[in-house]
Amino acid sequence: MSLILALDSSTDACSVALCADGQLSAQFELAAKSHTQRLLPMVDELLQSNNLKLRDLDAIAFGRGPGSFTGLRICMGIVQGLSFGAQLPVIPVSTLAAMALGYYRANPDTQHPILVALDARMDEVYWGLFTRDGDVVAPLCAEFVMKPELLSEQDIIQSLVGQFIAVGPGWHYPAMQVLAAANLVVDAQPRAEDMVLIAAQVWSAGGAINVLDAEPVYLRDTISWQKRQRIRNPN
C-alpha cells in the first residue's frame, strides 16, 4: 500500500490530493493570489480528515510546472518544508500532463490526443501534447513555450489538425483557432488529484527523487529577470 500526497498551485487554482493505494480524496479551490494562505491549511485539513500524519506518507508529489512563476515557487517552498520535516522523497509532475489526464478521466471514451495550452503571458503559451497510456498519459513531444501563432507551424500539430482535443485557458488566443480542434475546453485547470495518480505510477516504478534534486519547470527561465527589468525600468 502506498500513501502519496500531491500539491499544486501552478495556476489560479490551488489543490491538494491524497492517494491511498488507489483511493482518492482531494480539495480544490480557485484561490488566485492567496496560495500562500490556503495551500498548507488544505494539506492539514486533508491529512486530518483521513486520520493521517505527515510521517505516514510514502512521498509528496507536486505540480512542477509549467505555470505561474510565483505559484510554482510557493508550491516548491511548501513541498521542501514538508519533505525535509518528514524526510520524504518527492515526485515532480507536469501540470500539462495532469490536465490531459483530467480530460481523459472525465471523458473515458476519448481516443484523440490532448493538446494542452496554458497562458504564459507576454503573448505566449505553454503547451504539450499527450495521449492515453493505460491509466495515465504519455507525452507525444517535449513541452514548449512559444507565440500562439507559431503553434500551427509545428509539424506534429499540422498532422493532427481536427483530430485532437484542445484543453486549457491558453486556447483563448484567436491565432490558435485555425487548428480546428475536435473539441475545445478552455475552462480547465490542473488538479492535484490527477497529479497524484500520475505520481502513484512513478512511485511504483521507483521514480521518486530526493527533494534536493527537485526543481520547478518554467520553460521560460528568463521570466523573473524580465519582471525585475520592468520594475527597474518602468518607462
88 and 199 belong to one structural domain: yes
77 and 135 belong to one structural domain: no
Give residue 219's pLDDT band: very low, low, confident or very high (50, 70, 90): very high
- Of 146, 170, 185, the one marking the end of a domain is 185
80 and 105 belong to one structural domain: no
Give residue 221's pLDDT band: very low, low, confident or very high (50, 70, 90): low
39 and 77 belong to one structural domain: yes
- Give per-residue pLDDT as tens, 166-183: 999 999 999 998 899 999
Owning domain of residue 67: 3-95+190-232
Give residue 31's pLDDT band: very low, low, confident or very high (50, 70, 90): confident
pLDDT at 224 over 60: no
pTM of the model: 0.92
C-alpha cell at 130: 499527450
Q: Which of 1-5, 127-131, 167-171, 182-186 has the lowest mean pLDDT?
A: 1-5
What average pLDDT does the chain have?
A: 92
Burial 101-139 (b: 16+ CB within 10 A, else e): bbbbeeeeeeebbbbbbbbbeeebbbbbbbebeeebbee
- Give the pLDDT score at 231: 37
Looking up residue 53, the CATH number of its domain turns out to be: 3.30.420.40
pLDDT at 229 over 70: no
Asked whether the beta carbons of 38 and 31 are under 8 A apart, the reply is: yes
197 and 81 belong to one structural domain: yes
177 and 195 belong to one structural domain: no
- Give the pLDDT score at 85: 93
The mean pLDDT of 128-143, rounded to a whole number, is 97
Q: Which of 23-37, 40-54, 85-99, 168-182 has the lowest mean pLDDT?
A: 23-37
217 and 196 belong to one structural domain: yes
pLDDT at 235 over 50: no
Which string of DSSP letters, residue by residue, matches 195-220? HHHHHHHHHHTT--B-GGG-----S-
- Give the pLDDT score at 189: 96
The mean pLDDT of 201-206, rounded to a whole number, is 96
CA dist., res. 181 & res. 185, Å (int): 10
- Of 146, 163, 185, the one marking the end of a domain is 185
pLDDT at 54 over 90: yes
